[in-house]
Each structure stands twice: as C-alpha cells, then as structure tokens.
C-alpha cells in the first residue's frame, strides 16, 4: 500500500465534498486533486523526477499542501524547513538534502503560472510501501541536524492507526493551526484529514490572539495542539470555553509533556479531557491514551497497534512499521540508532505500569523542548563560542509556565550579553535564542570533563 491508496479515499471518492477552508475560500477534494496534478506536471517540466528532493520553506498555506501532494504523486522526496529558521540553519538542510528545487513564498507565483498551463490528470509513478515520501530534519544530539527518511508505509500506518483509534470520520470538522513543516501537523494532521475525508480549516499558525475567534467561527469537532497551545487556550473566558467545548469531540496533545495541572484546568474550563499521545519524527506516533478508556494524566497511554516496545537501561525502544527508514546519507548514525534486533532507541526515558500505560520521565540527552519546538543546546553553544570573548558556554533548560522550557546560556569570559543576544537573533530561529546570558566563573564539570547541566539548571530555578 502507498499514500495515494489512502488519499484516494478523499481525493477521488469524495471529490465533490468540501475539503479545505483556507484564507476565506473553500476547496473540494476534487479541486485539490486537480491543483496538485497541475503542480506535479509543472515540477516535472522543470526536471524533477522520482528520488529528487524538493525543499519548502513556507508557513502553512494551500500551496504547501499542493506541493506535498505533487511530490507524493511524482515520487519526489518532500523536505520541509521550519519557517522560523534563519540562514545558518537553512543552509545546513539544503546543503545536506541537496534538493533539485527549493520553494519559498517568492518562487510560488512563477510556479503557479506554469502550473496553469498543465493538465489536471494525475501523473503516473511507480510507488510502494517502501518508497521514501519525505525527509524531515530532526536536530541530532551531536548538534548536526539529521534528515529522517519517512516512507509511504510509515505515513500510511500512522494515519490508519490514528484515524481508527481517535474515531476520525468525514463528519469531523478539523481545525489545524500547527506548522506543517513538522510531523505533528504533517503526519498526524494532514494525513488523518485525507484518510478520513473530513473538512479542515487550515490556519497560517496558532496565534493565540485570534485562535478563539477561529474556534467560534469554524466550530471544529477536532483539534491537535502542543501543551503551549492548551496553556494559551486557558486564557479563554469560562462562557466561551463552554461554547467551544460543547461543539468539540476531541482535543489531542503531544510533542512535549502536558502538565497534569493543565489537563485538569482544561477539563474544568472546556469540559474535555485532552487525549495525550507520544511520538517522534523518526517513529511517528508510538503511544496514545485511549479514546474510550481512561485518559491517564501524566502518561502517554499505551503502545499503538503494531508498535513493539521495550525498556533498556531506562530508555524506551520501539519497533514497528511506523519506524523510519534511516537517516539521510548517515549510515553510522542510522546504525547507532538501532539495536541489533531492529529496535529504535528513542532517547526517551520511560516506565510502563502493570496495565501497560507508558510514562515518560525525561530525555537521555539534554534536548530542550520549547513550545513543542526542539532545541539542541550544542547548536547554540557552538554559535556562542564563535563570538569574541566567550571562552566557555553551556546552554540548558529553564522551566517556563507557558512554553514548558526555554533555553538559558551560562558563559565564561569577557563578553557583551546584548551583542550575544543580537547575534543569536540574527542567526537562529527565535525559539532558540537564550532568554538569559548568565556570566559564571566556571562551568561545573565532572572529573571526566562532562558539563553538569543539572547544576546550572538548578541555579536557574
Ligand atoms: C511561533 N512563531 C511562529 C510559529 N509559532 N511563526 C511562524 N509559524 C509558527 N508556527 C513565532 C512568533 O511569530 C513569535 O516570533 C514567536 O514564535 C513566539 O510567538 P507567540 O505568539 O508568543 O507564540 P506562543 O504563544 O508561544 O505559541 C507558539 C506555538 C509554537 C505553540 C504556537 O511554538 C508552535 O507552533 N509550536 C508547535 C511546534 C510543533 O508543531 N512541534 C511538533 C514537532 S514534531 P517573534 O519573532 O515575534 O518572537 C514532534 C513529534 C510529535 O515533536 O510527537 O509530535
Ligand atoms: P521531534 O524530534 O521533534 O520529533 O520530537 C520528539 C520528542 O518529543 C520525543 O522524543 C519526546 O521527547 C517528545 N515528545 C513527544 N510527545 C511527547 C509527550 N506526549 N510527552 C512528552 N514528550 C513528548
């Protein structure tokens, strides 16, 4: 099975039904099929063939969906880049993926002018379960961001699992506000939408100042968020929250730990128990709380169908058809990520209760998750160490009520904190810019020279 078998449940079988609300207009599934076929032919006319990579540096918009569908139809690997990334971060991805084409908002008018002249019939390309559909970059613990190769089979099994288990049907109204450059919105959002054939309203991003108006206007039944989004939604007045809650069927949270208090506060205000699930770029979704059974606070629920789990030295290992095909052009990193019997090392520390619920305890690495965006301290430390006067640098997480964690920098040397902040703002995505630049006499280290971040982090609290 490949992705078009899944998508045709909507693109073909529901061709005349409303599919997408975007920027005030409504499109049917048939229109999306025709648009993406035209775009696919325009890309092919520019020389793109199966196996090529195509990078997109775009905020959520209909053209991003057209481009994704066009890539799937051509067997071209779709490589989304976080729209908040700056030159340095983008250059790493384009250098590594070596795309045949890269689309930013500026390139779209020319492409669509070419697409206008193309046929609306679907191009034919041999595809199967193992055909790579996308490369999604995930920051590596060593600092260098690695491309996870995600196959048609990975996307299909994830979408089938979630659509079934969360009872998503064509009757749902799905509000999608998360960024399509990550697998949360791309793998879970876009694919369950197309698998179920429901109506989706797409927002450019989650803007807490207008999100409530979108809820009231669209009256969704289904919503996916990261914990920061739910903390933001708690700012809603009790009356409005009740109105929204009365129409909603299911709120899902993931990508970062959902505090039990947020779950409780949300239940009190919206009358819904958020369903928490757990995934990774490399594995799609591994675990989910049950739709019908107990949604247990502080846990990520039970392993999904087909997903085998094992705990080794406290770390959660997973194996199944959801797990990616390896890192792009990094055989050593791929080999290191798997055990000899094919289990993927998630890097997440976990325990499992006697009735099978998985609780995540933290990360093996010093990954920081801020508002659902991942930050590897090493990348920021390297930039700081390039700056005049900085002799040593350690970046670690500070707890933050809104975003879960934010980065803080601890530095040895003679430097100007304002200048460091300016450099970080210029060269890094906004969520990676340290919230504090703290001068310290020494970075605490073990006898072996390893930085003891917990001592710095304790100091920050
Ligand atoms: C935030 N900003 C964005 C943005 N989100 N810009 C474009 N697109 C987005 N999606 C920018 C804002 O312009 C602003 O920039 C700064 O970030 C903070 O904005 P804010 O309004 O204060 O945002 P906030 O209320 O903090 O909410 C941010 C957020 C965002 C929660 C909406 O962090 C977000 O979209 N997170 C989702 C990340 C995600 O999908 N992760 C999934 C990874 S996959 P400035 O310059 O003004 O500061 C994964 C696997 C799994 O982990 O299991 O899912
Ligand atoms: P990414 O590399 O962006 O795919 O992020 C994957 C990581 O997000 C996982 O390894 C977890 O550490 C974290 N994550 C995802 N979902 C949850 C969750 N429900 N609770 C805690 N952490 C989560």
Q: Which of residues 361, 388, 405 is at a domain's end?
A: 361
- Bridge partners (DSSP) listed for residue 310: 317
Length of the chain: 461
**pLDDT tens digits for 368-417?**
999 999 999 989 998 999 999 999 999 999 999 999 999 999 999 999 99
> Angle at which helices 29-45 and 108-116 pack, to 10 degrees?
100
Could you identify the atom of ligand 1 that is nearest to the CA of residue 371? 33
Same domain as 456, residue 335: no
pLDDT digits (tens, 9 = 90+) for 210-235: 999 999 999 999 999 999 999 999 99
Q: Give pLDDT tens digits for 404-445.
A: 999 999 999 999 999 999 999 999 999 999 999 999 999 988
Mutation test residue for ligand 2: of 134, 251, 280, the one with most atoms within 8 Å of CB:
280
432 within ligand 1 shell (Cβ under 6 A): no
Where residue 461 falls among pLDDT bands split at 50, 70, 90? Answer: very low
The ligand 2 atom at the shortest distance from the C-alpha of residue 347 is 10
Ligand 2 mutation target, pool 254, 276, 282, 322, most atoms within 8 A of CB: 254
Based on the fold, state whether residues 8 and 86 are members of the same structural domain. yes
Return contacts of 424-430, CB within 8 angstroms, 24+ apart: 424/380, 424/383, 424/384, 426/86, 427/86, 427/87, 427/88, 427/383, 428/86, 428/88, 428/89, 428/379, 428/380, 428/383, 429/82, 429/84, 429/85, 429/86, 429/89, 429/373, 430/84
Domain boundary among 317, 339, 361: 361
- Ligand at minimal distance from the CA of 366 is 2
Instruction: Name every residue whose Cβ is closer than 8 Å to that of residue 280 and which is 6 or more positions away in sequence.
Output: 138, 286, 346, 348
pLDDT higher than 70, residue 73: yes
Residue 93 pLDDT greater than 60, yes or no:
yes
What spacing in Å lies between the alpha carbon of 354 and ligand 1's midpoint? Answer: 36
In short, whether 205's Cβ falls inside 6 Å of ligand 1 is: yes
| 332 and 197 part of one domain | yes
CA of 375 to the centre of ligand 1 (A): 12
Of all residues in the chain, the percent with pLDDT exceeding 70 is: 98
Is any atom of ligand 1 closer than 6 Å to the C-beta of 206?
Answer: yes
pLDDT at 450 over 70: yes
Q: Which residue has the tokens 């009735």?
A: 355
Same structural domain, 42 and 157: yes
Whether 53 shows a pLDDT value over 50: the answer reads yes
Domain with 143, as residue range(s), is 3-361
Nearest-CA residue for atom 46 of ligand 1? 430
Q: Do residues 207 and 158 both lie within one domain?
A: yes
| Shared-domain flag, residues 433 and 347 | no
* Phi/psi at 285 (5° precision): -85, 135
Closest-CA residue to 74 (of 139, 115, 144, 123): 123
Instruction: Tell me, yes or no, whether 310 and 383 share the same domain.
Output: no
Query: In the beta sheet, which residues pair with residue 439?
Result: 411
Alpha helices in 12-86 (DSSP H): 29-45, 62-74
Give me the chain's average pLDDT, please: 95
pLDDT of amino acid 460: 47
- What's the domain count of the chain? 2
What was the pLDDT predicted at 456? 84
Q: Which atom of ligand 2 is nearest to the CA of 253?
A: 19
From ligand 1's centre to the CA of 215, what distance in Å? 18
> For residues 276 and 224, is the Cβ–Cβ distance under 8 A?
no
Which residue, by CA, sits nearest to atom 2 of ligand 1? 84
Q: Are residues 180 and 272 in the same domain?
A: yes
- Whether 171 shows a pLDDT value over 80: the answer reads yes
pLDDT of 431 reads 97
- Report, as an integer, the average pLDDT of 164-176: 98
| DSSP code of residue 107 | G
Determine the residue of 369, 371, 376, 404 to mutate for testing ligand 2's pocket, defined as the one with the most ligand atoms within 8 A of the Cβ atom.
Answer: 369
For the CA of 348, the nearest ligand: 2
Nearest residue (by CA) to ligand 2, atom 5, is 280
**Kind of pairing, strands 132-139 and 145-151?**
antiparallel
Mean pLDDT of 270-297: 98
Q: Are residues 276 and 407 in the same domain?
A: no
Local structure of 163: helix, strand or coil: helix
């Amino acid at each position: 099975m490949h992705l078009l078998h899944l998508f045709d449940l909507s693109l073909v079988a529901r061709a005349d039904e409303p599919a997408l609300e975007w920027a005030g207009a409504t499109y049917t599934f048939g229109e999306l099929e025709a648009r993406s076929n035209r775009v696919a032919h325009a890309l092919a006319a520019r020389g793109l063939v199966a196996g090529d990579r195509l990078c997109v540096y775009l905020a959520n918009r209909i053209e991003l969906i057209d481009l994704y569908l066009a890539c799937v139809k051509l067997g071209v690997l779709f490589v989304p880049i976080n729209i908040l990334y700056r030159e340095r971060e983008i250059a790493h991805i384009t250098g590594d993926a070596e795309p045949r084409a890269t689309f930013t908002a500026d390139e779209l008018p020319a492409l669509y002018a070419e697409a206008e002249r193309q046929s609306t019939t679907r191009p034919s390309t041999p595809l199967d379960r193992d055909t790579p559909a996308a490369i999604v970059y995930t920051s590596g613990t060593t600092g260098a961001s690695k491309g996870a190769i995600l196959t048609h089979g990975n996307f299909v099994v994830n979408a089938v699992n979630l659509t079934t288990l969360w009872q998503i049907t064509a009757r749902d109204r799905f509000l999608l506000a998360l960024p399509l450059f990550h697998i949360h919105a791309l793998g879970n959002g876009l694919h369950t939408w197309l698998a179920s054939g429901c109506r989706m309203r797409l927002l450019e991003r989650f803007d807490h100042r207008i999100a409530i108006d979108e809820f009231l206007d669209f009256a969704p039944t289904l919503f996916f968020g990261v914990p920061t989004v739910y903390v933001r939604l708690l700012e809603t007045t009790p009356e409005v929250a009740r109105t929204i809650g009365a129409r909603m069927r299911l709120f899902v949270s993931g990508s970062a730990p959902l505090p039990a208090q947020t779950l409780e506060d949300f239940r009190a205000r919206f009358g819904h128990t958020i369903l928490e699930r757990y995934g990774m770029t490399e594995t799609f979704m591994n675990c989910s709380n049950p739709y019908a059974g107990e949604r247990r606070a502080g846990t990520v629920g039970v392993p999904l169908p087909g997903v085998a789990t094992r705990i080794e030295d406290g770390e959660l290992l997973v194996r199944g058809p959801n797990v990616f095909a390896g890192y792009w052009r990094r055989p050593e990193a791929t080999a290191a990520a798997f055990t000899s019997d094919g289990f993927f090392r998630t890097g997440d520390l976990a325990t499992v209760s006697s009735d099978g619920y998985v609780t995540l305890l933290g990360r093996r690495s010093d990954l920081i998750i801020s508002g659902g965006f991942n930050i590897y301290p090493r990348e920021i430390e390297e930039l700081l160490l390039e700056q005049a006067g900085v002799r040593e640098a350690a970046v670690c997480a500070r707890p933050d009520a809104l975003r879960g964690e934010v980065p803080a920098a601890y530095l040895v040397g003679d430097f100007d904190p304002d200048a460091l902040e300016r450099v970080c703002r210029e060269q890094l995505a906004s969520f990676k810019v340290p919230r504090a630049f703290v001068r310290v006499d020494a970075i605490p280290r073990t006898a072996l020279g390893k930085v003891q971040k917990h001592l710095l982090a304790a100091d920050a609290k």
